[in-house]
Chains A and B, each alone.
Chain A
Amino acid sequence: MPGILIVEDNRELREMLKESLTRKRFTVQEADNGKDAIIHFKPGVTDLVVTDLIMPEEDGLKVIMTLREIKPSIKVIAISGGGKAGPASYLNMAKALGADAIYYKPFSVNEMIGKIEELLEIEQP
């Protein structure tokens, strides 16, 4: 099954996402900040990254930029609970950096899984 990297500093949310995705038989890896996500990134294993945007160490925008550099084919889903860096919002910037989908927290995890399946071209049973 495809590998998904979850980058999220909120532990409960990260665990919830992990459980939801594991159930769908995805191989899930986690990181609780942007820096760790970049250091431990395995291009051979990870096909899609779900990343929060405002995080300690490196933020989600840096994660998107670095991971795309290492593996241009990687799919990106950005999630955020709101927050702005200057006049543009983080989610807008993530979109500009080429995130394939963006979600405002709280979001429907089923909807997100649908999107993941669509992006990874997985036929629904």
Chain B
Amino acid sequence: MKQEKYKTDIQSSLEFLSREKLYADHIFNNSRSMISVIDRDYVYVKVNTTFCKALRGMADSIIGKSLSDVWGEETFSKSIKHNIDRCFDGATVKYEASFTTPQAGKRFFEVIFRPFPSDSGKVTHLLAETFDITDLKLTEKIAIEKEEEFKKFETNLPIGFMRCRPDGRIIHGNKAFLLIMDCRSENSLYSANFRDYYAEKGIFDMHVEQLADSKLKSFGRVPLKTCKGKDIVCRISGFMTLDEAGNPSYIDFAFEDSSRELMLENRLLEAQKLETIGSLAGGIAHDFNNILATISGYSELLIEDLPGHSPLSEKVSKIQTAVNKARSLTNQILTFSRQVEQEKVPVSVYEVLRETIGFVKSAAPPSIKIRSNYRDKQKFVFADPTQLFRVFLNLLTNAIQALEDKQGTITVTLAIEEGKKVRGDLNKVIVADEYVLVTLRDTGKGMDQSLLRRIFEPFFTTREVGKGSGLGLSVVHGIVSEMDGSVLVSSEKGKGSVFYIYLPVYSEKARKPALHGRKKKLLFVTGNRHESKILSLGLESAGFEMTQSSEIKHFNKILAETQTRPDIVIYMSDADQIRIDDLVSSFQKYGISPPCIIICDSNQDNPGEKLVNSGIISQQLVKPVSLKEIETAIQLSIKR
């Protein structure tokens, strides 16, 4: 009985053991890991099915083999042996390795060696477990690549990107953001609060509030201040990310600097405005000239009607002077609205600029310094030199008036800019490969933005009523635009203003050939050689041979020589060293009577009218005169 029971116990124990072994084998062989048991001689004593499959061998062919037999001597000694040794010292060793198996080729594995002690506790074997982590590795690699790709994209994105806490503390900003905000490094951002970059901080709070629903929002153009305190305008859009509990976690903002866009828009608006005012003012000037023509004509009739020495003649003459002044005004308006004919010739900007500066220097107080820097002296532009003179004269006069206390410096530079650069700077269609850029910089009182926007408008003036017509800069604008050029201005209150005049370079080097036969000799009698030099430049281009004289001795010397004797004389009314009487007596002395044209200042009473009537002077012109008018006067004088 007792034996029976013993037998049954053993049997059930054996059954139990065999079932346990079955389970163990089943788990051992069905594991996705390669599992082996290795002894201290680095020999496999047991391997599972996965191991065999990976090596494409039967268990019998692997068991009993050393690791160097299976993996090769080099791999074994270099990357396996020392790990096994550490494990036999009692440590669980875990490492990643890549090796090639006959079943799958080169794969990545995680290897774990665990000490496998005997009943006595001595480590006689180790349990090696090797997982294939190739897919994991691959995913990880892709993730890293993607992250790097995104980082690169984000860094080089032309759009500013910035992440901040809902209270505005900045977490991160990309390169474009740093550039837009004028920040030196990303590190300087970490202590910054984005709220402080808003020109109006309340708007930031409003934006955060609007982002609370976690939807992408565009805020349009927002005025911001850069790290350096500069005012800019950015197009901003934002998106708020919430945490798991639904509380605001962080906000991502995207920025596009639209300062330039805004500037160009404003510039376009200004141009359109000036165009509108121009056509309006031009129309008025046109009608006004009709009225002036009537007044002028009737006053001429009136003079005829008056008896010889009527005291009323003088009053009529004053009407005519007033008409001339009004004519000068309408002429300026028409110049602004680009409705005045310009007799354009290739002309050297350098020459005109130099003469204008000379002219201005002679009249400006000595406490004002006018510096010039000519980086080019060769280039020509296609212009009416008298009009170009007006451009520089008006700008220089303005600059002098901007210098308070008659102290300061005006710096004029002339340089050449490439057309492509000009296109970028002005954002307009270019008409030449090169442009002359004249820059006039003063250290005067400067202007604020609201003033700056209006300076080219006709009749806009900051001077007291009666001082200055307010047409100077609008005339500049008209003339420069008519030459397909541009005039820009920048200014800072209290620091001064800079005017930039871009003029397309005239490409045909060939100058106009001389007119028929011998060049006509033209003598300028003048008090200011700079102004007449300007006219000379244009007349030279038109084929005349020019001489100037402002002093009686020199004048007589020119008349004395038949070689230098002029065909035409142009007398400027400011010639104080040579009076009309001198002119007449010198002509009589040498027995000549060349046609004589007088150019009067519109601000003076006209001395010319009587002279024209007396026959000494053949034509009379009133400033501002255009080259065209002088040429017409010359043609008419020669015919007579």
Q: B286–A82 contact, CB under 8 A?
A: yes
Asked if A16 is at the interface (CB within 8 A of a chain B CB), the reply is yes
A110-B286 in contact given A13-B294, A82-B340, A89-B341 (Cβ < 8 Å): no
A106-B289 in contact given A82-B334, A82-B339, A89-B339 (Cβ < 8 Å): yes
Asked if A69 is at the interface (CB within 8 A of a chain B CB), the reply is no
Instruction: Give chain A's interface residue range (CB within 8 Å of chain B).
Output: 20 to 34
Asked if B59 is at the interface (CB within 8 A of a chain A CB), the reply is no
A109-B301 in contact given A82-B334, A83-B339, A84-B339 (Cβ < 8 Å): yes
Asked if A19 is at the interface (CB within 8 A of a chain B CB), the reply is yes
Asked if A81 is at the interface (CB within 8 A of a chain B CB), the reply is yes
- Which B residues are CB-close (under 8 A) to A76? none
A 7-25 to B, binary, CB cutoff 8 A, 1 in contact else 0: 0001011001101100100
Asked if B565 is at the interface (CB within 8 A of a chain A CB), the reply is no
Complex alpha-carbon distance, A10 and B636, angstroms: 27
Complex alpha-carbon distance, A85 and B294, angstroms: 25
Complex alpha-carbon distance, A20 and B294, angstroms: 11
Q: Interface residue count for B (Cβ, 8 Å)?
A: 30
Q: Which of A85-116 contact B (CB under 8 A)?
A: 89, 91-92, 102, 104-110, 115
Give the Cβ gap from A10 to chain B, nearest Cβ, in Å.
4
Q: A106–B340 contact, CB under 8 A?
A: no
Contact of B300 among A13, A20, A92, A105 (CB under 8 A): A20
Asked if A54 is at the interface (CB within 8 A of a chain B CB), the reply is yes
Q: A20–B338 contact, CB under 8 A?
A: no
B 261-301 to A, binary, CB cutoff 8 A, 1 in contact else 0: 00000000000000000000010011111111111111011
- Which B residues are CB-close (under 8 A) to A17? 297
A84-B338 in contact given A23-B301, A108-B300, A109-B300 (Cβ < 8 Å): yes
Q: B285–A13 contact, CB under 8 A?
A: no
Asked if B523 is at the interface (CB within 8 A of a chain A CB), the reply is no
Q: Which of B317-360 contact A (CB under 8 A)?
A: 323, 327, 330, 334, 338-341
Q: A81–B287 contact, CB under 8 A?
A: yes
Q: A106–B292 contact, CB under 8 A?
A: yes
Q: B291–A12 contact, CB under 8 A?
A: yes
* A88 and chain B: residue at smallest CB distance: B341
Contact of B285 among A12, A82, A110, A115 (CB under 8 A): A82
* A52 and chain B: residue at smallest CB distance: B290
Q: B338–A105 contact, CB under 8 A?
A: no
Give the Cβ gap from A95 to chain B, nearest Cβ, in Å.
10
Complex alpha-carbon distance, A118 and B296, angstroms: 22
- Which A residues are CB-close (under 8 A) to B289? 81-82, 104-106
- Which B residues are CB-close (under 8 A) to A106? 289, 292-293, 295-297, 323, 327
Q: B294–A110 contact, CB under 8 A?
A: no
Complex alpha-carbon distance, A104 and B463, angstroms: 31
Complex alpha-carbon distance, A20 and B304, angstroms: 10
Give the Cβ gap from A35 to chain B, nearest Cβ, in Å.
19
- Which B residues are CB-close (under 8 A) to A118? 639
Complex alpha-carbon distance, A115 and B330, angstroms: 25
Complex alpha-carbon distance, A54 and B286, angstroms: 10
Complex alpha-carbon distance, A118 and B327, angstroms: 26
Q: B323–A83 contact, CB under 8 A?
A: no
Contact of B290 among A10, A84, A108, A110 (CB under 8 A): A10
- Which B residues are CB-close (under 8 A) to A109? 296-297, 300-301
Q: A10–B286 contact, CB under 8 A?
A: no
- Among A79, A82, A92, A108, max chain B CB count under 10 A is at A82
List residues of A whose CB falls within 8 A of some B CB.
10, 12-13, 16-17, 19-20, 23, 54, 79, 81-84, 89, 91-92, 102, 104-110, 115, 118
Residue pairs across A and B with Cβ atoms less than 8 A apart, 17 shown, are: A10-B294, A12-B291, A13-B290, A19-B301, A20-B297, A79-B293, A82-B282, A82-B330, A83-B282, A84-B338, A89-B340, A105-B289, A105-B290, A106-B293, A106-B327, A107-B293, A108-B300
